[in-house]
Amino acid sequence: MTDLVVPLTALATAGSLLVVGFGSLVLRRIILSRHVGTFDCSMRRESKAHATGRWRLGLARYECDRLDWFRFFAWGLRPARSLDRGRLVLVDRHAPLGPQSHSILPGWVVVRCAYGGLTIEFAMSEPAYNGLAAWVESAPPGEHVNVA
């Protein structure tokens, strides 16, 4: 019986850590989703000198003057990327092509954006795209609007 105490304790500890880790991810998602203007959104970025990166799952949230993007599998409450509304240009939108269709949820669209010297692609649902386009277009008076 004493030979089983150490392996069972290790197994119980590992299981507890998994439950706590998963629970903290769920709690973080609930906290982030409570804000108005939060939507599911994958992102990948590319620079002019580098090839396209890989898709990362995440959440995006509209703020007054910026779009905050949060990684899905992270514990922090700070955004991984903040994009200023005035510098974000929506270039085009298309259905996932070729290998992209395996990395993106069904029914989502790919939105190509220019942000300074970077090209950023977002994958989101059609209603989320409509909200993003409306948010960019509805910049306060006097600000430059960048919608293709």
pTM, entire model: 0.76
The verdict on 24 and 42 lying in the same domain is no
Can you give the residue range of the structural domain that contains 23?
1-34
**Structure confidence at residue 134 (pLDDT):** 92
The verdict on 7 and 75 lying in the same domain is no
The verdict on 49 and 95 lying in the same domain is yes
The verdict on 117 and 64 lying in the same domain is yes
Q: Please indicate, yes or no, if residue 77 is contained in any of the structural domains.
A: yes
**Structure confidence at residue 52 (pLDDT):** 66
More confident of the two residues 75 and 14: 14
| DSSP string for 25-77 | HHHHHHHHHTSTTEEE-EEEEEESSS-----B-EEEEE-SSEEEEEESS---S
Q: Please indicate, yes or no, if residue 144 is contained in any of the structural domains.
A: no
pLDDT 10s digits, 110-140: 999 999 888 899 999 999 999 999 998 886 6
The verdict on 103 and 130 lying in the same domain is yes
Domain count, the chain: 2
Reduce the DSSP state of residue 101 to 3 states and report it: helix
